[in-house]
Amino acid sequence: MHHADEEPEPPELIRRYVTPDRRYLKLGGGLLRMSGRDRDTFTRNLAKAAREISPRELGILLDGGWRERKTAAWLIAVAGGTEFRERLGELLLASEGPYAGQAYCVALATFGTSADSDLLIAYLDHYLRRPDLYYDQTAALGTLLLLDARHGADQAGRFLTPEGLWQRWTDGPPSKNCDIPGAYREFIGRLCVVADESARHYASEEN
């Protein structure tokens, strides 16, 4: 990522990084439906954007709407921008808008440290106590399970005990039609594979 000499206007950043080829709509489950060639082109273009955008510009996008925040989180994931960890954790916990929380979780998963697990635990501690809110609980739990598997830990275990916070949240009211927790871990893991593919393109151009 480079440093821009002049602060760009948000519409220019949106045009350059968020809307090309409807990028913001594809960052998520849509990536998993792409064919090999389309996925390779997409991940290469994402890596190019991650190289071109500056930290200041990423900060501007993170101050924007859900489209900007979602895109910025993915660019951060690709570039390994761990300096944004706390900001992403704050945005996840604030849950000020829809659609971006999953992207924050993907970025935290790619960072993959105990500090990232702590941010996910803080989120789950808060939002699993709110069965009336269906936000990003499934993505956060799936990400924590993924990090647990990597670290040989069981920090998600206390949420998954019988009559624990996960069961109380899924049972509601209102009740929710949720998959088993492992399905959310697998889904986040598959998104991380795509982020890693783009990160390899990013690294190869840097060298």
Among 136, 67, 146, 59, CA closest to 110: 146
pLDDT, one tens digit per residue, over 39-81 is: 999 999 999 999 999 999 999 999 999 999 999 999 999 999 9
Q: Is the pLDDT of residue 4 over 50?
A: no
Rounded mean pLDDT, 130-144: 97
Among 84, 86, 158, CA closest to 121: 158
pLDDT category of residue 205 using cuts at 50, 70 and 90? confident
Taking the CB of residue 152, how many other CB atoms lie within 10 A of it? 6
Among 139, 71, 72, CA closest to 102: 139
Among 151, 157, 162, 153, CA closest to 124: 157
pLDDT category of residue 206 using cuts at 50, 70 and 90? low
Rounded mean pLDDT, 138-151: 98
Q: What is the pLDDT at residue 1? A: 44
**What phi and psi values does residue 40 have, to the nearest 5 degrees?**
-65, -45
Instruction: Please tell me the pTM assigned to this model.
Output: 0.94
Q: What angle do CA 22, 93, 199 make, to 5 degrees?
A: 45
HSE-up of 108 (CA within 13 Å, CB side)? 35
Q: Is the peptide bond before 174 cis (omega within 30 degrees of 0)?
A: yes
Q: What is the pLDDT at residue 3? A: 44
Helices (H) and strands (E) in the chain, counts: 11, 0
Among 97, 177, 96, 88, CA closest to 140: 88
pLDDT, one tens digit per residue, over 154-194 is: 999 999 999 999 999 999 999 999 999 999 999 999 999 99
Q: Is 81 helix (H, G, I), strand (E, B) or coil?
A: coil
pLDDT category of residue 9 using cuts at 50, 70 and 90? confident
Among 119, 107, 102, 47, CA closest to 76: 107
pLDDT, one tens digit per residue, over 99-127 is: 999 999 999 999 999 999 999 999 999 99
CA distance 191 to 39: 12
Q: Is the pLDDT of residue 207 over 50?
A: yes
